[in-house]
Structure 1
């Protein structure tokens, strides 16, 4: 599995792309509600609604993306989602500086919409970036990237926030720094997406690797 990914430039790029994208999106899972309480003094009842609002817009975006699939190129739809989620993080950081809950909810809405579009498009790309004889191999590799991103997102969302809060002595700073890092990760993923080409991936997988060429030459 490792050689199949590292030996294919497009496959390697997609692996890193998925890691950055999912670590950023999944890293906010444990942050939005406590951030709402810390930054805006929201009650427990109000903070529990944050995830519901986010989830509602994720679902709405998934439905819309499903209807648009086939009409809009997958990479374009994925980029719309990536940039939407990126904008969401930027707006959430802005809400922390301005202490505006209305700006915060706007950021949550953008984050939800971006996540939904990104989910549909990137799942389609995952299946496109396979080959007929190695579907399980590549889907397994993308699954490994997913699992690694979940771990990284949890560490980023927990340990990094706590470390920054302790260093600065201001709890809110921990949230803002992490949201800022997640925005940068999404920016990096958006740049990498432009280098992911399904046709190039399949061409590279159809060509024998250097090791295979050496083996054939020695026969």
Structure 2
């Protein structure tokens, strides 16, 4: 009787059969090992699975958030899907714009190495011109620092502040109008500020003590509160 052969795999999660794909989402599998003997085949198969399961666009309500009030026929997807097919990659000599080949109208742009390493959907773009770079910097800055508190939410929080002041009116009826107005503004501000959401990028930047601006000069901090208190004493 021959001894049982030990079956080893260069990539423990990718088998020759496709049965595993029916059980585990490809995004949850580990990245193929570059040291594998059959790495190229495993890598290509891994990329195909990731693209098919994670990078094909499907319309949702987010796609049409800028088309509210329009008819279904006039609504346009803000992700610009489906996209025009391009047979071959080309360069517009007049503008310098690079257009990459596209064989599928619903697949987002991706980089094979990045999508295999990050295991998630992506929409990558080559930043070629200075204008594109400026737009990208503005988009990242706006996305990282944007306020998610809508106006109607701010009004609701301000209304809570007004109700809180009205409830104190019975006990503090001797306060004059100026003092009441000051309390009202302060209470509304505190209600709004306490509910303000901050992006994860901004929080991480503050915790890591990263710079949030760039200047050509070095400045000194002035603690004006203590100076003001001293002058008013």
Q: TM-score, normalised by structure 1?
A: 0.24
Which of the pair has more CA radius of gyration?
Answer: 2
More helix by share: 1
Higher relative contact order (CA 8 A, sep 6+): 1
